[in-house]
Amino acid sequence: MSKYKFERIVNAEFSGISLRALLSEKWLLPRKFIHFLRIRENVKINGNYYPMNTIVQGNQKIELIFEGDEFRTATSNYIVDKGRKIPIIFENEDLLVVNKPQGIKSHPNQPYETGTLMNYIAGYLDVKDEHPYKHPYMVHRLDMLTSGAMIVAKNPVVVPILTRLISTHTIKRDYLAVTEGIFDQKEGVIDLPIGKDENDKRKRKVDGIGALPARTHYQVIKEFGNNSVVYLRLETGRTHQLRVHLSAMGHPIVGDVLYNHVSEEKHMMLHGYKQKLTLPFSMRELELKADIPKYFTNYEEKVKESKN
């Protein structure tokens, strides 16, 4: 099992707090991580071990050593696939944000499966010899037919940090969709619980089996023909949430083969357009955008031409 050695610098604004507070409250490390760092004396300040109540100062170097048993998933076993290049929106030593193309799965579902985003990212990292950690780790996923911004961790240390930042809405994920019909209310919140569809294991439905709370913020930003372009922000992250919520509103997404039975468009018009990203450790905020696929524009032009 591989050891992971990290060196991070304390932000100036974190001066004057305890080492424990730095690790738990500012860097958001799980309690299990902190426990093992303490009992193994695997956390050091400027090269020396100090108790957890030690006060840290800005620009000090914090060294963290993880043995591997701290992690839920210690190793990344995605098969390397160099058959496709994935557009990179942002990259640092801990993570990538990629622009996932429509039509590929986020991750494999079967042993030895390739051709998914995680396989392609494994191929990309495999040739970056300057980086000590060359393996992708799942943080969240996008449906196969959804394109757009997706975070991929480069090491298991940052996975729970990123997961927590997403669950607390510190990291925000915004989408664009082209839907059927014209909305009566141009903005609002869709607050409908989502569960499994008892008649189709592929699908989800409002008030389905095991339904959990689900909230989506929406704003209509454009209308053309009998279509609306809608800006969407996830407050929760249920499977197929945007697709189910918009369908339940009577405005299914154009090209959605599961929830829209009238559209003949071959592309599903749902794109992860923007992310407000918070970087682990530095907690610096970035706003990132994923280029909108050309088929969005092409569809609008096709609709306009059909009306003439």
pLDDT digits (tens, 9 = 90+) for 154-192: 999 999 999 999 999 999 999 999 999 999 999 999 999
Confidence category of residue 5, pLDDT binned at 50, 70, 90: confident
**pLDDT value for 289:** 97
Sequence-distant (≥ 6) Cβ neighbours of residue 122 within 8 angstroms: 76, 78, 79, 80, 81, 135, 136
Is 250 strand, coil or helix? coil
Q: Does residue 131 carry a pLDDT above 60? A: no
Exposure b/e, 149-182, CB count within 10 A at least 16 = b: bbbbbbbbbbbbbbbebbeeeebbbbbbbbbbee
Domain with CATH 3.10.290.10 in the chain: 4-66
Asked if 119 and 78 touch (Cβ cutoff 8 Å), the reply is yes
Confidence category of residue 308, pLDDT binned at 50, 70, 90: low
Q: Both ends of the chain: CA-CA distance in Å?
A: 65
Asked if 190 and 259 touch (Cβ cutoff 8 Å), the reply is no
Q: Give the residue, 284 or 76, on which the prediction is more confident.
A: 284
Q: Does residue 285 carry a pLDDT above 70? A: yes
**pLDDT value for 68:** 86
Asked if 110 and 142 touch (Cβ cutoff 8 Å), the reply is no
**pLDDT value for 282:** 92
* Measured distance CA(289)–CA(212) in Å, rounded: 29
pTM score: 0.90
* Measured distance CA(37)–CA(40) in Å, rounded: 6
Domain with CATH 3.30.2350.10 in the chain: 73-168, 173-273+297-306
* Mean pLDDT computed over every residue of the chain: 93
**pLDDT value for 73:** 78
Burial of 99 from C-beta contacts in 10 A (0-12 / 13-18 / 19+) = buried
* Measured distance CA(100)–CA(120) in Å, rounded: 11
Alpha-carbon radius of gyration of the chain: 22
Average pLDDT over residues 80-93: 95
**pLDDT value for 121:** 96
**pLDDT value for 128:** 55
**pLDDT value for 152:** 97
Burial of 144 from C-beta contacts in 10 A (0-12 / 13-18 / 19+) = middle
* Measured distance CA(229)–CA(199) in Å, rounded: 30
Query: Out of 81, 143, 174, 256, which one is annotated catalytic?
Result: 143
Q: Does residue 133 carry a pLDDT above 90? A: no
Tokens 């009998």 sit at which residue?
226
**Is 143 among the catalytic positions?**
yes
The domain 73-168: what is its CATH number?
3.30.2350.10
pLDDT (tens digit, 9 = 90+) per residue, 222-255? Answer: 999 999 999 999 999 899 999 999 999 999 999 9
Is 103 strand, coil or helix? coil
pLDDT (tens digit, 9 = 90+) per residue, 23-74? Answer: 999 999 999 999 999 999 999 999 999 999 999 999 999 999 999 888 887 7
Q: Does residue 76 carry a pLDDT above 90? A: no
**pLDDT value for 259:** 96
pLDDT (tens digit, 9 = 90+) per residue, 263-274? Answer: 889 999 999 999
Q: Which fold has domain 173-273+297-306?
A: Pseudouridine synthase (3.30.2350)
The domain 4-66: what is its CATH number?
3.10.290.10
Asked if 9 and 62 touch (Cβ cutoff 8 Å), the reply is yes
